[in-house]
Structure 1
Amino acid sequence: MRTLRHPVYLICVLLFMVNQALELAHVFIPLLFSYLDDLLAMPMVLTLILAAERAYFRNGSFVLPWTWVAGAVAAFAFFFELVLPPFSPKHTADWLDAVAYTCGGALFFFTINQPLRTRDTHS
């Protein structure tokens, strides 16, 4: 499971946990509160998908094609910014969230989404 030990993924998970803890403590830093979870969503979700693919196919050199990453960004933006807000007052459509998803997708694609070294090529 080396994929799940990638430093960028671990930093994303840590930042997400800290941000959630701050929110639970009613400490709201506007930019973090509004966009950090959206920025971290793609690296966290896509890393889990990448790890599952590598484990299933036992191929540590597998990387997600850019079309899958773009599709995930588009799906999140469509669902969370267009579909969900009219049905839930807790959700607000914000085009900057889509920018955050895109930046998170790029972060994943250019850092985490790399073949594992040959030492241990499984997940």
Structure 2
Amino acid sequence: MGSYFRGMLKQEWINSLPRLNTSLDSDIRSILKFSYDALDDEDKYLFIHIACFFSSEKIHKVEEHLAKKFLEVRQRLNVLAEKSLISIESGYIKMHSLLQKLGLEIVCKQSTHEP
């Protein structure tokens, strides 16, 4: 995000904030996608699951639901949190709306290529 704001005046920052909270413009999308692309395949799959089904869900419920799909669910959640793709707050998994949008876009793209 820092590179997005670099060179902007303070007023441009202020004017950009509402749009940043709701719009996944190409600069922001590429930054978020870069973080996603750096994940291993299992962590990518977990990211997609959270984006589609588990944002703002209790962490123990997520672990219960995904224990059969993923080995070491908690460790993988910690990886996503360390990379700031999710946050874990008061026993809940949180994902920013722009990251959720990215996850949904990825799923939509994949579903057009895979039946």
TMscore range, shorter length: 0.3 to 0.5
Normalised TM-score (structure 2): 0.33
Q: Which has the higher strand share?
A: 2
Higher RCO structure (Cα 8 Å, ≥6 apart): 1
TM-score by length of 1: 0.31
